[in-house]
Structure 1
Amino acid sequence: MTAPSQEPSPRSYRFLIIVCCGLGFASYLTSYMRIPVVPLFAQDLGAGAVMVGLINSAFLLTSGVFSFPFGLLADRWGRKLVVSAGLIVSLVTSVLLAVSTLPWHLLVIYLFFGLGLAAIGPTLMAYVADLSPPSQLGSSYGAYTLAIYTGMSLGPGLGGWVADWLGFRLLFIIAAALVGLVFLLALVYLPSSGHLPHLATAASRPASSWRTLLRHRPLLACWLITLGGCFGLGTFITFAPLYMKAQNLSLRDIGLVFALQAGVNAISRLPCGRLSDWLGRRWLQAIAGFLFLGGSLAAFGLATTLPAFLLATTVLGIAMSLGFTSAGALIAEVVPATDRGLAMGGYNTCIYLGQMTSSALLGLVIGWCGYALSFALSALVVALSTAGFYLLIRDASP
């Protein structure tokens, strides 16, 4: 089930994993410096709530839909080219944000911003798999996801502080300059496919190989459980603040709950990755993680006090680390090295589309039957996707 690959020397692979972690951190830091600020900028340009929603939806839609084809291009054209192109797009969109004057300008720019992030995210994940020895995949993914979640956590605060100090337009220029620095670092330090022997023949593989990959049961299992898990995650991100407000929690308390979830999730990524390396059976850890994720969502929907919310969100953070770290490393194990870009593109597509689906559908369900049953329904979706994961992967698992 595991694709053979040449194992790099410990020193070289560790340095290159650090490079990928640094680039991932910087890419998501600069992206998330802009993401929470753009809605406020759009309001200043005269956008209403509907247009603000369309702007954010455009980013999520293009990021989700194009992660898959960009992953395929990374396999065929080379990872370094796709990452570099994504960084250039991210830089250009940041500059265009600084000179935009109408809300529809932001809508068009954000469509392309999503394209840039779709090119960067899955390709760097594929790089991590390419560079890591098979026995260290869990640790490598734990370190990488720790880096990007740290960037995602620090970016909004840094962006808000810079915007408050210098204004929206200078923030976008500063973000563009930082992306330019990341681009230069990627050019210097990221290896090309020619320096990774197991990728040197990627361009010569048959064009129909992606169809074979779409019939790959273990890969489909990983995509399915990721889709279901992100349906649950989207429920938490979108509707947890509303539910806690309905339970008379203050904005400070709501912020504390989200900060705890993000912190626990980030801190536990590396230990959970090492645990999956030690256990060897990543699929079992993924099942445990996603079942705990579903259970924590159901418990969150029953909570009414701050301590109960804090307990449920702590379990949620640990469960996310157990599940998503194992699923990401498992994808790298079950597909050939030359198809990892496509596989990670599909993985990122499931992340975005899962969150989009729950955000779009659960609002209607909450209006019909309330928060508790809606969170329980989301937990059921996670459990069903976990069951489907087991049915798809059981025959291929040791």
Structure 2
Amino acid sequence: MTVTPPASPAQGNPRLLRICCAVCFCCFFGAYMRIPVFPLHAASLGADTVRVGMLNALFLLMAGSLCVPAGMLSDRVGRRLPIMAGILVLGCSSLGLSFSSSVAHLAAVCVLSGIGTAVFAPPLMSYVADITPPARLGSAFGWYTTCLYGGMTIGPAAGGLLGRTLGFRPVFLISGLLIVALFGVVLFFLPPSRPHGTTAPQPAGAALLSTLCNRRLLVCLGSLLGSCIGYGLFITFMPLYARSLGLDSGHIGLVFAVQALSNALSRIPFGRLGDRLGDRSVLVVTGLVGFSLSLAILAGAKSLGLLLLGAAAFGVTLGVAFTALVALTADAAPREQRGLALGLYNSCLYLGMMLSSALMGLVIRRHGYGTAFYLCGGITLAVALLFFCLYRRPPAAAPEAAAWEASP
């Protein structure tokens, strides 16, 4: 007598996609409530600009280094268990921040937060890819990342306003309680998944070697890594940059909200456009060139109005480029290696931001914020050129993909 393993959730299930999007929104809303107040809380405990950068780099190092093992684990045990474990760890890290009283405590919490993010994010992205027909990956990830950046939109705004009215520690407490509550949502509403049904997974070494020989995947990952240096500069140092211009935490939250809102609103239409074009690489190049120009706007900003203009351009162009990149990454990987591929995607995202946090603090201390933004703009422009030269379009879509596209 044979035992049939649990089936993967069916592709094209809109209810499961909505649940994934809701979990993503709430988790990143809670996590990003901390963004406007964490650097200010660290400064109140004695951390200077370089230490703030290193604290963020520590979080990003942990997240980036563990995303690949987490993705590979989800290829073997399914997506739901790592998602729930990551939610608990990430929520506990926010609760830990509410009790922190030294820079050493902040460092320990950053490690915990990095672990939670790494264990949570790649499996949830892989779950979305598992339930989505190949020809609709752009649209699905458009919705998913819109919810992600929607959380990033409202989270910093709410965190900044709550920080101004309640203080820093209550923000961390509210963040932690909200994230932990998502554990029950995943437990009761997301069914377990087996990403490749009854097929045995490849050995870890063979899967990694196969992935690293995938040219299209490597070009996408390298482009993400390079462009995340500019993204990391904004996330890590914008609160301190805005404070140096005389803005308060409420204004800082507004800058983050404008960036994330414009980012979120660009993702669904450009995700659908990528599905219709068939060549998402055009959107990657266009988005990265615009992204480099937005960094130049931010470099020259001397007022709240210019910061908001630069943040809006930053958000739109980031949304165009990154939505196309994540769809290309998921499409380039075989189904049984999708967790690994999206783990590598998240690793590149976090490691690129880590490099920015670690290095740009030194650039800012020596040459100022403007120089750092111009430098990151130049790096992003070089990445766009390299992607244009190195990326090769895949063969035409298979008949079954075309059939999915034609289906209602």
TM superposition score normalised by structure 1 = 0.83
Native 8 Å contact 2:53 2:361 kept in 1: no
Gaps of 5+ in 1: 1-5
Native 8 Å contact 2:25 2:148 kept in 1: yes
Q: Given the alignment of the two structures, is residue 334 of structure 1 paired with residue 332 of structure 2, yes or no? A: yes
Give the equivalent residue in structure 2 for 1:393.
391
Give the equivalent residue in structure 2 for 1:291.
289
Native 8 Å contact 1:7 1:132 kept in 2: no
Correspondent of 1:210 among 208, 211, 215:
208
Change in CA separation of 1:32 and 1:372 when aligned onto 2, cut-off 3 Å: closer
Question: Which segment is superposed worse, 141-150 or 323-332?
Answer: 141-150
Give the equivalent residue in structure 2 for 1:358.
356
Give the equivalent residue in structure 1 for 2:196.
199
State the 1:324 CA deviation.
Answer: 0.4
SS in 1 for 2:81: helix
Question: Which segment is superposed worse, 122-131 or 202-211?
Answer: 202-211
Q: RMSD of the TM alignment (CA)?
A: 3.4
SS in 2 for 1:191: coil
Native 8 Å contact 1:54 1:107 kept in 2: no
State the 1:343 CA deviation.
Answer: 1.3
Give the equivalent residue in structure 1 for 2:143.
143
State the 1:263 CA deviation.
Answer: 2.1
Correspondence list, 1:212-227, <5 A: 212-227=210-225
Give the equivalent residue in structure 2 for 1:85.
85
Measure, in 2, the Cα distance between the counterparts of 1:190 and 1:179.
Answer: 16
Question: Which segment is superposed worse, 304-313 or 79-88?
Answer: 304-313
SS in 2 for 1:181: helix
State the 1:276 CA deviation.
Answer: 0.9
State the 1:330 CA deviation.
Answer: 0.9
Measure, in 1, the Cα distance between the counterparts of 2:211 and 2:264.
Answer: 31
Correspondent of 2:346 among 348, 373, 382:
348
Native 8 Å contact 1:68 1:345 kept in 2: yes
Change in CA separation of 1:255 and 1:346 when aligned onto 2, cut-off 3 Å: same
Measure, in 2, the Cα distance between the counterparts of 1:108 and 1:124.
Answer: 25
State the 1:133 CA deviation.
Answer: 1.5
Native 8 Å contact 1:228 1:386 kept in 2: no
Q: Given the alignment of the two structures, is residue 262 of structure 1 paired with residue 260 of structure 2, yes or no? A: yes
TM superposition score normalised by structure 2 = 0.81
Correspondent of 1:314 among 312, 315, 324:
312
Measure, in 2, the Cα distance between the counterparts of 1:327 and 1:377.
Answer: 23
Question: Which segment is superposed worse, 333-342 or 185-194?
Answer: 185-194
State the 1:219 CA deviation.
Answer: 0.8
Question: Which segment is superposed worse, 320-329 or 284-293?
Answer: 284-293
Gaps of 5+ in 2: 1-7, 397-408
Measure, in 2, the Cα distance between the counterparts of 1:20 and 1:334.
Answer: 22
Correspondent of 1:383 among 350, 357, 381:
381
Q: Given the alignment of the two structures, is residue 61 of structure 1 paired with residue 66 of structure 2, yes or no? A: no
State the 1:56 CA deviation.
Answer: 3.5
For residues 218-245 of structure 1, what are the alpha-carbon distances to aligned partners after superposition, in whole Å with 9 as ceiling and x for unaligned?
Answer: 1111111111221122334456677778
Give the equivalent residue in structure 2 for 1:276.
274
Measure, in 1, the Cα distance between the counterparts of 2:176 and 2:255.
Answer: 32
Change in CA separation of 1:42 and 1:355 when aligned onto 2, cut-off 3 Å: closer
Native 8 Å contact 1:7 1:133 kept in 2: no
Give the equivalent residue in structure 1 for 2:3.
none
State the 1:316 CA deviation.
Answer: 2.6
Identity %: 41
State the 1:369 CA deviation.
Answer: 6.4
Q: Which amino acid aligns with 2:323?
A: T
Measure, in 2, the Cα distance between the counterparts of 1:96 and 1:124.
Answer: 24
Native 8 Å contact 1:80 1:191 kept in 2: yes
